[in-house]
Structure 1
Amino acid sequence: MFTGIIEAVGSITAINVNAQGARLVIDTNNLDMSDVKLGDSIATNGICLTVVDFDKSKNNGSYSADVSNETLQRTGFVNYKVGSKVNLEKAMLASTRFGGHMVSGHVDGVSEILAINNNGNSIEYWLSMPNELAHYIAEKGSVTIDGTSLTVNSLAENGSKGKFRLTIVPHTVKETIFAEYQVGSKVNIEVDLIARYLERLLTKNNDSEHATKSNISESMLAKAGFIK
């Protein structure tokens, strides 16, 4: 589990493709690797990857991780190359301050940067809203972009061509890879974890094959303020 608060910006130093997918080597830059062990999880552009090897002898440190064909197909990794910068976050501890929102590191899809506009000292980004994910994205709700926990500022829904707006403050631009984005850039998107589970509960209640006696309903959720 992660929080979506980026700890460092690293870079890909090697991509070794194989029949099972690929093995990546990530230079961690200033990420603290002192407590990293084999088998630990590090969110790499929002994708939960398992450390299979690491090198702490370098000034910056590095780790290796395997990426399955499934991950390559469902994320933006197919567009990455040696030198690409990536957001990094180690798995959260029970004692970690929860600064973002619950992030699983299981990417739901890929979104495209449609427009980038300056707004005062901040930058507004408009991103495409994949049709199959649109119902999970809500104004003032949480979304994860390349591992960064962000708030959706507004929506512009138009059938299958919906989009949503993010307002990024200077600190976030400085501490993440947002400065690397251009119109047309592809980014990993993970929708809010709670929204996914709520949908599953509601769907299960309406599925005669898996009918339950749960008291959860759309009217109850609306009354409690979870949905509008």
Structure 2
Amino acid sequence: MATTAPKKAVLYRMVMPEHTCPYGLKSKWQLERHGYEVEDHWLRTKEQTEAFKTKHDVKTTPQTFIVGERVGGNDDLTRFFGGHVPAKDETSYKPVIAVFSMTALMALAVSYAVLGTPFTIRAGEWFIAFSMCVLALLKLQDVEKFSTMFLNYDLLAKRWVPYGYIYPFAEGGAGVLMIASAMTWLSVPVALVIGTIGAVSVFKAVYLDKRELKCACVGGSSNVPLGFISLTENLMMVAMALWMLFAPAALSMAH
């Protein structure tokens, strides 16, 4: 019975006392994951690395060779196996989806811990408040970059630049107060104002002016496109503010 010869690949990567190339580790993992036996060559010094680059006329390592043909670096290897490598300016909603997914799970977990069941009205409130806090945290990592990107589309920030610096603090502060159900006299108007201005700004930029911009919602270094999800973030703040403003009165009337 004939046996299939193992697939083989030759990998050259930097493994030095002060530095192990992370892309080399990823390339080795990709090859092994796809069933390749890896002939793993370590470039242990800068001199060895530069000599290798010169010999093969390449600018970077790692480099993978399969059946004697150079595949290339880790991104090239990803493409070789049919994977997607994002382009430099490619936009994605993944950061926002990751934030909302985690804050939703956090809200369900807290609801279960405090109220004994994950699916409660309070969980919905916590979800929005947690989302506000996490989004504010991402903006606060680099307020300067956030404010610069924010100025591309926010109507108030364009007229009054300091608003771009104030916004993440206002969003985070309102979120914290909403989690605690404290000082609603402050958190509700803040969330209502910044949410309304944000929603109008995004709607104008995207749906009226038809501009293709990046959203500053997860910080000034993101590649999240300005669009429906950005609008949803602001509408969630407005909805939360209105709920906290009118729900207690409605519930008291019901009783």
Normalising by the residue count of structure 1, what TM-score does the alignment of the two structures yield? Answer: 0.22
Q: RCO higher in 1 or 2 (8 Å CA, sep ≥ 6)?
A: 1
Q: TM-score, normalised by structure 2?
A: 0.21
Task: Flag the structure with larger Rg.
Answer: 2
* Higher fraction of helix: 2
